[in-house]
């Protein structure tokens, strides 16, 4: 049984930082590309960042590039999202997900999902 469990969300003021974690179990973690998505109220779920199984390829959407950093620790079966200089526009539920594609930008390309963690940024 595959499980992805996110943690690290919470309430932060604009300009602050958070680090999200996602711990995976039930899969061969280093065989998967890992991605972080977010979904704000009334909006679609969107990919923010991804990191390949070999850790030599990372991708970011323009809205988070330079502010967010994705990383992974295969020995701990964990992927992280470091979020700096947060703004109210970053308020959303954040999800981690896994994909067997080396390049995965669509939700349909991710096979397993966590339950999400809430991030709220106040102004």
Burial of 31 from C-beta contacts in 10 A (0-12 / 13-18 / 19+): exposed
**Cα–Cα distance, 29 to 23 (Å, whole number):** 10
- The neighbour count for residue 36, using CB atoms within 10 Å, is 25
From the first residue on, what is the mean pLDDT of each consecutive set of 10 residues in the chain (123 residues)?
94 98 87 93 94 85 96 92 98 96 89 97 96
Which among 120, 119, 113 is positioned nearest to 22, based on CA atoms?
113
Q: Tokens in use for 52?
A: 């390949």
Q: Tokens in use for 83?
A: 């979020």
Burial of 22 from C-beta contacts in 10 A (0-12 / 13-18 / 19+): buried
- pLDDT at 123 (0 to 100): 92
Which among 84, 79, 44, 45 is positioned nearest to 64, based on CA atoms?
84
- pLDDT at 55 (0 to 100): 67
- The neighbour count for residue 47, using CB atoms within 10 Å, is 20
Dihedral sign computed on CA atoms, order 24, 50, 106, 11? positive
């Amino acid at each position: 049984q595959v499980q992805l469990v996110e943690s690290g969300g919470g309430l932060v003021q604009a300009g602050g930082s958070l680090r999200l974690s996602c711990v995976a179990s039930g899969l061969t973690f280093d065989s998967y590309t890992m991605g972080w998505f977010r979904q704000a109220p009334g909006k679609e779920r969107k990919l923010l960042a991804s990191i390949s199984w070999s850790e030599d390829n990372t991708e970011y959407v323009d809205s988070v590039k330079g502010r967010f950093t994705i990383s992974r620790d295969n020995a701990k079966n964990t992927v992280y999202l470091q979020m700096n200089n947060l703004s109210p526009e970053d308020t959303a539920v954040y999800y981690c997900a896994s994909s067997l594609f080396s390049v995965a930008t669509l939700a349909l390309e991710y096979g397993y999902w966590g339950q999400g963690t809430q991030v709220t940024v106040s102004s």
